[in-house]
Amino acid sequence: MTQLRAIGKSDLTTVPLILGGNVFGWTADEATSFAVLDAFVAGGGSVIDTADVYSAWIPGHQGGESETVIGAWLRHRGRRDDVVITTKVGMLPIGEGKGLQPAHIATAVEASLQRLGTDYIDLYLAHQDDDTQDQGAVAEAFGALVRAGKVRVIGASNFSAQRLDSAMAAQTTRGLARYQALQNEYNLLERTGYEGAVQDYCVAHSIGMTPFFGLACGYLTGKYRTPADVTGARAYRVGKYVEGHGPQVLAALDTVAAAHGASLAQVALAWIAAQPGIAAPIASATSVAQVEDLLGSIHLALTAEDLALLDQASRV
Let me know the angle formed at the C-alpha of 123 by 56 and 173, rounded to the nearest 5 degrees.
Answer: 115
- One-letter amino acid for residue 201 of the chain: Y
Nearest to 83 by CA among 125, 47, 37, 126: 47
HSE at residue 73, side-chain half, CA atoms within 13 A, is: 25
**Which domains are seen in the chain, by residue range?**
5-314 (3.20.20.100)
Q: Quote the crossing angle between the two packed helices 30-42 and 288-295, to the nearest 10°.
A: 30
Alpha-helical regions (H) of the chain: 30-42, 65-77, 102-116, 135-147, 161-173, 197-204, 235-243, 246-260, 264-273, 288-295, 304-314
Digit-by-digit pLDDT tens for the chain (316 residues) are 578 999 999 999 999 999 999 999 999 999 999 999 999 999 999 999 999 999 999 999 999 999 999 999 999 999 999 999 999 999 999 999 999 999 999 999 999 999 999 999 999 999 999 999 999 999 999 999 999 999 999 999 999 999 999 999 999 999 999 999 999 999 999 999 999 999 999 999 999 999 999 999 999 999 888 887 777 666 667 788 988 899 999 999 999 999 999 999 999 999 999 999 999 999 999 999 999 999 999 999 999 999 999 999 999 7
The answer to whether the beta carbons of residues 182 and 156 sit under 8 Å apart is yes
pTM of the entire structure? 0.96
Exposure string for 42-61, b = 16+ CB within 10 A, e = fewer: ebebbbbbbbbbbbeeeeee
Q: Which amino acid is at 202?
A: C
Contact 313, 306 (CB under 8 A): no
State the Cα–Cα distance between residues 149 and 255, nearest whole angstrom: 48
Residue 219: its pLDDT value, please?
94
The amino acid present at 95, given as its one-letter code, is: G
Residue 213, by phi and psi: left (phi above 0), alpha (psi -120 to 50) or beta? left
Nearest CA to 181 among 2, 3, 18? 18
**CA-closest candidate to residue 123, choices 156, 147, 148:** 156
Q: Which stretches of 43-101 are DSSP H helices?
A: 65-77
